[in-house]
Amino acid sequence: MQLFRARPMTRPVEVAEMDALLGRVAAQQDRAAFATLFGYFAPRVKAYLFRLGAPAAVAEELAQEALLNAWRKAHLFDPAKASAATWLFTIARNLRIDALRREKRPELDPDDFLPEPEAGADAGMMVAEKERRLRLALKELPADQIQVVELSFFADKPHSQIAEELGIPLGTVKSRLRLAMGRLKRAMGGDE
Amino acid sequence: MIAHHAPRDAAGIAHHPEDALLLAYASGIADEAASLIVATHLHFCADCRTKAAEMETIGGSLLDDLAPQPLAAGALEATLAKLDLVKPYDRPRRTLSRDGTPGVLRNYLGSDLRDVRWRRMGPRLSYVPLFRRGAVAARLLRGTPGADSGTHSHQGTEYTLVLQGGYSDTTGSYAPGDLQVMEAGQRHNPVADLDEDCINLAVTTGRLKFDSLIQKIAAPLFGF
């Protein structure tokens, strides 16, 4: 199986900048802000869907739809909980399940949970800092660990099949994922 | 099989999904039935909710680092032209559950747990089919106090998530929110706790193989 290697063509944009653009879309339906978000994220969502096996034309169409969904849902975006990139990822993920796999995405009902205590003004900063650390830690994962993490996102197949194609036992795939998650959590300042 | 007596955490949960399963849910690779099992566990488990959110952050980071694939000329203009035609997304408002049924499950039941119509498959066991996709089936199972589901093994994987009451087998005891995953070939004999009905969400990816002759004959009739 081909090992996926990310080749960012542009330097990752500052997390806070994208969050602010999304905030402007939510607050005042700012089209210029949306156009900037579109220019950055639509080609990445297209790459994501293409990587998961969608034909180029379908990936193109769904990338536009994902950004349209982001416009419609912008008022639900909470920078204290996730960055714009993470939020866009969940939109693209759910769109793929709905449109390409024709299944439902079982999601938690937010009404089932008590509202969380008001996040401090720096909660968004904490998210940005956590993501910055995560990004660094992802790049430093051993090759065999980042491989199974990436395949968990980009190969549309269960871990048993990933194991088979890599020629390693399923238990090895699982233990590599466990090791990777442990490292990433520590990097993000998680208290294990 | 070795019994492992996992400690219960603050939320009273002792058996969590392993990282690979949680990651499959967060990445969207898990199928709908496995996703329903994980999402229902997340309803009970704040720790795993945090973990799943962190895994989504990995998704965001990987998305950010993907080599962009340029869209066709005019894609932005085409999308901008649609902005005025679409309505802001409005999250569906649901009535509150009267018995604490997880919302993610109510979407499949169409009602609260206490209002579902159970189908009997014996004096002590009943079930409600939720959906089936090929060999994968999702269903609710209910056993009366002390009900013995019969020793069985599995052709595929069996995921069991306790919703109410509890049960025990040779691997340990399971209470609301706990997830048990039995891989193909593993055998167990779950017995419901004595104090109340035990209700589980169960997903199987292959048929169950019962030891007893009666169950061997009966199981296929009920779609097991």
B28, B97, B103 ranked by CB distance to A93: nearest: B28
- Tell whether A5 is covered by a domain: no
CATH, residue A151 = 1.10.10.10
pLDDT, one tens digit per residue, over A49-67 is 999 999 999 999 999 999 9
AA letter at A101: R
Q: What is the pLDDT of residue B208?
A: 73
Judge whether B48 is closer than 8 Å to chain A, CB to CB. Answer: no
**Which of A152, A154, A175, A177 would you mutate first to test chain B, the one with the most B CBs within 10 A?**
A152
pLDDT, one tens digit per residue, over A151-163 is 999 999 999 999 9
Q: What is the pLDDT of residue A151?
A: 97
**Residue that the structure tokens 């849902």 belong to:** A73
CA–CA separation, B168 and B66 (whole Å): 46
Average pLDDT over residues A31-56: 97
Average pLDDT over residues A69-82: 94
Low-confidence winner among A111-120, A181-190, B180-189 (lowest mean pLDDT): A111-120
Q: Is A85 exposed, middle or buried (0-12, 13-18, 19+ CB in 10 A)?
A: buried
Q: What is the pLDDT of residue A190?
A: 55
Domain boundary among A113, A131, A160: A113
- Mark whether A27 and A78 lie in a shared domain: yes
Average pLDDT over residues A36-42: 97
Residue A12 predicted with pLDDT over 70: no
pLDDT band for position B26 (cuts 50, 70, 90):
very high
- Tell whether B179 is covered by a domain: yes
The separation between CA B81 and the C-alpha centre of its own chain, rounded to angstroms, equals 41
Q: Dihedral sign, CA of A135, A140, A143, A144?
A: negative
Q: Tell me the residue range of the domain where A130 lies.
A: 123-192
Give the residue ranges of DSSP H helices in chain A. Answer: 15-28, 31-51, 56-73, 84-99, 123-140, 143-154, 159-166, 170-187
Share of chain B above pLDDT 90, in %: 71
**Is the CB of B24 less than 8 angstroms away from the CB of A31?**
no
Q: What is the pLDDT of residue B5?
A: 62
- Mark whether A96 and A30 lie in a shared domain: yes
Domain boundary among A113, A147, A178: A113
A97, A153, A173 ranked by CB distance to B59: nearest: A153
Higher per-residue pLDDT: B224 or A18: A18
Higher per-residue pLDDT: B12 or B164: B164
Q: What is the pLDDT of residue A5?
A: 44
- Tell whether B24 is covered by a domain: no
Chain B residue numbers touching A71 (CB-CB < 8 A): 83, 86
CATH, residue A43 = 1.10.1740.10
State how many domains chain A has: 2
In whole numbers, what is the pLDDT of chain A averaged over residues?
88
pLDDT, one tens digit per residue, over B111-147 is 999 999 999 988 899 999 999 999 899 999 999 999 9
Q: What residues 173-192 of chain B have any CB closer than 8 A to a CB of chain A?
A: none
- Mark whether A137 and A190 lie in a shared domain: yes
Residue B2 predicted with pLDDT over 80: no
Shortest distance between the Cα of A33 and any Cα of chain B, in A, equals 12
Q: Are B202 and B160 in contact (CB under 8 A)?
A: yes
pLDDT, one tens digit per residue, over A92-146 is 999 999 999 999 999 998 888 876 655 565 676 688 888 889 999 999 999 999 9
Chain A residue numbers touching B130 (CB-CB < 8 A): none
A64, A72, A158 ranked by CB distance to B75: nearest: A64
pTM of the model as a whole: 0.91
